[in-house]
Amino acid sequence: MTGSAVRRRLIFLVGLTLIAFLMVFQPIRLVRGEAESVLQDSFTYDLRKPVVEPGDDRAQRLEERRNELLRKLREANPADPEWIDAVVVLSAPTQLRVDTVILPGLKAKEQSEQYGALILQTLKKEFPGVTELEPEHEADEESGEEPAATFWLFNVYRPIPHINLGLDLRGGLHLVLQCLPSTTFPFETDEDHLLLPEMSADEFETAAAELQQELKNELLTAFQQRGVAVPRRLAVNVMSKMDMEVSTVTETREEAEAQEQVVRNYLEERFPTISMGDAERLLLERDTAEKVKNIIERRINALGVAESTIEIQGGDRLIVEIPGTKTAERVERIVDSRALLEFRLVPEHYKLDETQGFARGERRIWRDGDATSGPIVSEKTVMGEATREALGRDLKPKTIVVPDYESPGSWAVRFELKNERKQAFHAMTRKAVGQHLAIMLDGKVQMAPVIKSALPGGGVITGKFSDQEAKELALLLNAGALPVPIEIVENRTISATLGADSINKSARAGIIGFVVVLAFMILWYRVPGAIANVALAIYMLLVLAVYSFIGAVLTLPGIAGFILSIGMAVDANIIIFERLKEELATAKTMRSAVEAGFNRAWTAILDANVTTLIVAAVLYYFGTGPIRGFAVVLGIGVSCSLFTAITATRWMIIVATTSKLGGIAGLFRTGLGSSGETSA
């Protein structure tokens, strides 16, 4: 190997080490490249006068006014026109909220104050009496790292390892989700043969709960008496005095059909006029668990929760781990919702009686014919005859939260259909002017507005939602509906105290072991040992860089795998140096001994590392959770150790042997003594 070739390889090694250092510690970051970590502040103002005056076209004029204010605010800071994220006209006609974006490269606190002053100054030009209400700072404390210095478009930070820590080290939320293949049987009676007699709404709830438990016990007995497998779960839901549902957890279509016969026969005997509608079967397919996993991932990612892991266990369970989360209840609610959205066009002869509202266990009062005097019809009947015009999967993933102008203090959700569905939806609403369009979520009617004009492929869902409820609904619709219901069968919130203790002890053990290894290598192997220590440091940087690049989550078993791989990296160097000692004992020149030593050691190193990689692959394939993490870390470590032992160590030893040190053979021999013996 020529001197120029050695220099090129050393330059490559130095460059690779520098890149690994920058990836692991991220001390230098581009200001404009940190969109994923932007901070957001919300400023709320009382304008002292309405944004627009009341009128028939108020909603349209509000949208135009909002866009106008957004444009003026952005123009107020020409150096950064994207500093305003959104302008929201609140339900109170005189209140306005302005959301700003602060890049982490800037001093967050100072920049927030400057933005607030600039907004107030701009608004005063049109609203002289404007005052700022209590600000809502939504910046995440964990992402508020301040730079040590700023140079042009770059920020310089203190070098801190950026490695994702797992649930056992940071604490967080651990959920086990069970997919529930289910079948739902809807039943309905007529007004002359009610499930329960006439009573008040409060009395209805109590009576319905008692009837549900009674029917459940009798159905379980009926399954046993008729020789049909008892379902894993059975639920009876009496929704009104005329409607009920029976749901079972069903593994196969054959089981669902057998259960249907038992349920139908029993209820027809118990309630002579009852009739069953179309059963809804949601069975497990080969890819059902994978679909559930993808939807859950989208929901959690939309919450802004980073470093979550979701794994399929068996064919019908998922393990969800979210390190460091402080929003456990919200995550559980988001994960557990099925979020099946339906748009159903109600037949023209059914009218909603808005004068009576809720009564006698009915969610709404529907009448056949006249909206005030026609015969009452159950909501289940109405929705059963309503035609399904669109589903949640027909929506663009751009659902947003907007103020509900018809209900002050409430929020609504604005949706837009996909382009291929807009034309059909527009045509349907044009023909159905005057009819009700029911919007259902998970089988419950959220609203049933009258279509007043053709809708151009979109609309607004209202329901007196709070701000958080509206945001969660928008999130669910954007992520999509689950193909089957799920149940949280295990829910654990893990404290980070044990994790912090584990990290400290692991770090202490790792540092002590690393120092002992460094000292041993120098004392026993001299110059090659010092070179091996440098190669070991390069190896550790490369491994951590790979973790950072692939977004690996480091768990306690992963740390064990990392430390084990460090030992294996040293082991490869030891094999090489022992071979080098043997070659030097045959009176070879230093250059020849180095080449022969590496060539003879290569086979043993390759065999040892390949067998370890095989073990890591087996652990990853058959293991779950932390075991897989251990296997991944071990595999990455072994792969990187092969590179550093065969390339980095070799290149540096060649440089050392071609220098003045190469003439002192004793510096390349094993032992604690010193030698001034030279070799040609």
In three-state form (DSSP H/G/I as H, E/B as E, the rest C), the secondary structure along 46-95 is ECCCCCCCCCCCHHHHHHHHHHHHHHHHHHCCCCCHHHEEEEEECCCCCE
DSSP tag of 144: -
Confidence band (pLDDT; 50, 70, 90) for 356?
A: low
- Looking at the DSSP bridge assignments, the partners of residue 312 are 318
Determine how many CB atoms are found less than 10 A away from the CB of residue 191.
Answer: 12
Domains of the chain and any CATH numbers: 3-27+495-668 (1.20.1640.10), 29-158 (3.30.70.100), 179-282 (3.30.70.3400), 340-346+386-492 (3.30.1360.200)
Residue type, 621: Y
Residue type, 563: I
Handedness of CA 539, 540, 541, 547 (dihedral sign): positive
CA–CA separation, 355 and 372 (whole Å) = 8
Q: Are 258 and 228 in contact (CB under 8 A)?
A: yes
pLDDT tops 80 at residue 388: yes
Pairing mode, if any, of strands 341-345 and 234-238? unpaired
CA–CA separation, 97 and 86 (whole Å) = 8
3-class secondary-structure state, position 148:
coil
Residue 155 class from Cβ within 10 Å (0-12 exposed, 13-18 middle, 19+ buried)? buried
User: What is the percent of the chain with per-residue pLDDT over 90, rounded to a whole number?
Assistant: 4
CA–CA separation, 346 and 353 (whole Å) = 14
Q: How many CA atoms lie within 13 A of 490 on its CB side?
A: 10
- Give pLDDT, residue 219: 92
CA–CA separation, 541 and 536 (whole Å) = 9
Confidence band (pLDDT; 50, 70, 90) for 346?
A: very high
Which distant-in-sequence residues (6+ apart) come within 8 Å of 340 by Cβ? 391, 392, 440, 441, 442, 443, 481, 482
Confidence band (pLDDT; 50, 70, 90) for 304?
A: low
Handedness of CA 616, 618, 623, 624 (dihedral sign): positive
pLDDT tens, position by position, 159-181: 887 777 777 677 778 888 888 88
For the ranges 141-150, 196-205, 606-615, the maximum mean pLDDT occurs at 606-615
pLDDT tops 90 at residue 529: no
CA distances from 483 to 15, 289, 295, 543, 579 (A): 49, 9, 9, 39, 61
CA–CA separation, 393 and 483 (whole Å) = 11
Summarize the confidence of residues 399-406 as an average pLDDT.
Answer: 80
pTM of the predicted model, to two decimals?
A: 0.53
First to last CA, the chain: 18
CA–CA separation, 658 and 606 (whole Å) = 27
DSSP tag of 240: S
User: What is the percent of the chain with per-residue pLDDT over 70, rounded to a whole number?
Assistant: 83
pLDDT tens, position by position, 124-143: 888 888 888 865 444 334 44
Confidence band (pLDDT; 50, 70, 90) for 59?
A: low
pLDDT tops 80 at residue 358: no
- Give pLDDT, residue 33: 44
Cα Rg of the chain (Å, integer): 34
Burial 288-306, CB ≥16 within 10 A → b, else e:
bbeebbebbeebbebbebb
Confidence band (pLDDT; 50, 70, 90) for 217?
A: very high
pLDDT tops 90 at residue 614: yes
| E strand or H helix at 606 | helix 590-622
pLDDT tens, position by position, 451-503: 888 888 888 877 677 777 788 778 877 877 788 888 888 887 766 655 567 66
CA–CA separation, 93 and 134 (whole Å) = 18
Burial 605-634, CB ≥16 within 10 A → b, else e:
beebbeebbeebeebbeebebbebbbbbbb
CA–CA separation, 478 and 474 (whole Å) = 6
For the chain, the average pLDDT equals 78
Burial 563-587, CB ≥16 within 10 A → b, else e:
bbbbebbbebbbbbbbbbbbbbeee
Q: Could you tell me which of 529, 503, 507, 502 has the C-alpha nearest to residue 518? A: 529
3-class secondary-structure state, position 570:
helix
- Give pLDDT, residue 294: 84
pLDDT tops 90 at residue 416: no
